[in-house]
Structure 1
């Protein structure tokens, strides 16, 4: 016997997928957006130790526990373009951060799917307390050059 759970009966598949695309971005799309000069504010919601280990260049570090208290310092405009990220697909810190921001009235918040893990695995530049780095793309996540 198969059961289905319908949370939003009026939501169509097209509505669902359109919403996903409106509220999520992936590493390659975010990198292209940054390269175009139309970069959003990028917020790393992870712990201080995680931030030190590696991050997206130019990101702002605001752990979720501090997000509500500190966001206005870096994004006073509630319509600012913001992307939040955490470690990767096994971490929901970016989802929590995006929800915090949406509940505070921020209207243009997206979550980086794949998080820092897939940013690095796609061979995009990273920075840590030791300096800048770039690893070779993982052929399971990005085409090889």
Structure 2
């Protein structure tokens, strides 16, 4: 699985790169705050939800969760790869790294 950091994610956003940002936390945590532009697909639901919500298996997808200690995003990335998604990235730092860089969450 390929990982990316905050600087890379910010660069992609600033250049308008086409990618889908997926918050893998439960709906309540997503509602409390998420990275700008993210959609919410809980990691435990990714096998059922991805085919419907992420129909393009060649799309660039970035998954994240709370922090580098959270395992939800890595599990989601592995499951997406098993489903045949070819461009899956794991933003390891998650919401904690995003906020540590002074960046704001959406609510």
The TM-score bracket by the shorter chain reads over 0.9
User: Is residue 47 of structure 2 the alignment partner of residue 68 of structure 1?
Assistant: yes
The question of 1:24 aligning with 2:9 is answered no
Deviation at 1:55, TM superposition (A): 0.3
Name the counterpart of 1:94. 73
Structure 1's consecutive aligned runs of 4 or more residues displaced over 6 angstroms after TM superposition are: none
Give the length in aligned residue pairs.
107
- Counterpart of 1:106 in structure 2 is 85
Instruction: Measure the CA separation in 2 of the matches of 1:94 and 1:38.
Output: 21
CA shift, 1:48, in A, is: 1.4
> Normalization by structure 2: what TM-score?
0.93
Gaps of 5+ in 2: none
Alignment of 1:1-145 (within 5 A): 23-128=2-107
Structure with the higher fraction of residues in helix conformation: 2
* TM-aligned CA deviation for residue 104 of structure 1: 0.3
Secondary structure at the residue paired with 1:31? helix
SS of the residue 1:111 aligns to: strand
What is the distance in 1 between the residues matched to 2:48 and 2:39?
14
State how far apart, in whole Å, the 1-side matches of 2:18 and 2:97 are. Answer: 19
Scaled by the length of structure 1, the TM-score of the pair is: 0.70
